[in-house]
Structure 1
Amino acid sequence: MLRAEDTALVLLAAGRSRRFGDRDKLTERFLDKPLAYHVVTALEAVPFRCRIAVVCQTSLDFAARGYTVVENPGTEDGQAGSVRLGVQTAIDQGASAVLIALADMPRVTATHVYRLLDYAEGPDAVIASSNGIHPTPPALFGANHFPELLRCCGDEGARALVRGGHHVITRADELIDVDTPEDLAALRTAYGLTPEVAAIRAAARRSD
């Protein structure tokens, strides 16, 4: 089993959000906070060796939440560029494993992350999440895979490694990622946040 205390959390928060137009989807409100802060809150009690947020021109203050913030100026290289930056920072901070999570997956839980750690048996581990159909982040990588992660390129990122790893199944709704305004609207609706309710809450926040 890999320990959280030896593992770096690498949160990828530099996506270009092209399908959101000019809006930064990670700052969009869901329930009581910006979308990206849900996974931050869910994992804040997990005793990771370090927490790293790879960002691109965001107004969100990950540093105030205990993260080393790494700016990715080259988002044209896709997710892989963020993976490389995050993994290199994890190596520099002495981690022997990395857990790669996405900031646009607001329903991930600490319980599931501990299950990933429980399945990991050492430096060769590749443990990914799954909804029972396809693998997805969060995904855990032991140190023997660091060189390969540092060589990955394009939008594939670490997906080839993930496909060949062990997959831990959890509920599909825990692994929802928000790529479009329609995805966010559907998630809000699932939690009873109709447009009318959302407007009332927004007005209340402005008056605070």
Structure 2
Amino acid sequence: MIRAERTALVLLAAGRSRRFGAADKLTIPYLGRPLGLHVVVALEAVPFAARIGVVAETALDLTSCGYEVVVNDDPAAGLGRSLRLGVEAALRCDPDAVVIALADMPRVTATQIYRLLDHAVGPDAIVASSDGEVPRPPALFGRAHLPELLAAQGDMGARELVQRGHHIVVPPAELVDVDTPEDLERLIHG
């Protein structure tokens, strides 16, 4: 088991949201708060060694939530760039592991993160969330994999690493990812 206190959280919030349209989807109200702050609130009690938010152009205020904010000035370079920027910032706290989460996944829970941590053994750990079929974030990467994350390119991010890791099955509702206005409507209206 890797302890939360030795783990850095990297929250990716710099996507271009092309499929959502012109609106900043992370600031759209959902259940009384901006969509992008749901995962922030859900994980606020997890005692991470560091919290890093990678953002582009968003009005989402992660600084007031205790995050070190890193600006991705070239989100068109893909998810890999955001991943690299977040991991570079995380390395400053010399973590045993990094948890990668996405700001557009509003139903992630602290229990889900603790399950990742509980199944992470040693520096070679890769533990991802899954609906039982497809692994996805949130995902944990042990220290040995941080160089691979720093080499991430394009929109593939850490997909290959996640595929070969251990997968923790969680309720599909916790893995909802809001990419389009229709996704948000389904989330709101069930």
Say if 2:3 is the partner of 1:3: yes
Listed as ranges, the matches of 1:76-155 within 5 Å are 76-155=76-155
CA drift at 1:67: 0.1
Q: Runs of 5+ in structure 2 lacking a partner?
A: none
Gaps of at least 5 residues in structure 1 are: 191-208
How far has the Cα of 1:93 moved from its partner? 2.3
Q: 2:36: which partner in 1?
A: 36
Question: Which residue pairs with 1:203 in the alignment?
Answer: none
Counterpart-to-counterpart distance in 2, 1:157 and 1:147: 13
Inter-partner Cα distance in structure 2 for 1:47 and 1:62? 16
List structure 1 runs of 4+ shifted beyond 2 angstroms.
Answer: none
Q: How far did residue 94 of structure 1 move? A: 1.9
For residues 24 and 94 of structure 2, the distance between their equivalents in structure 1, rounded to whole angstroms, comes to: 32
Matched residue of 2:80: which SS? helix
| CA distance in structure 1 between the aligned counterparts of 2:86 and 2:96, rounded to whole angstroms | 13
Q: Normalising to structure 1: TM-score of the pair?
A: 0.90
Where 2:160 maps in the other structure, the secondary structure is helix
Opposite residue 142 of structure 2, the aligned amino acid is G
Query: 2 CA distance for matches of 1:133 and 1:145?
Result: 23
Distance 2:159 2:65 in 1: 28
Amino acid in the other structure paired with 1:101:
A
* Distance in 1 separating the partners of 2:120 and 2:50: 18
Letter in 1 for 2:7: T
Secondary structure at the residue paired with 1:20?
Answer: coil
Q: 2:22 matched to which residue of 1?
A: 22
TM-score normalized by structure 2? Answer: 0.99
Q: Distance in 2 between matches of 1:39 and 1:67?
A: 13
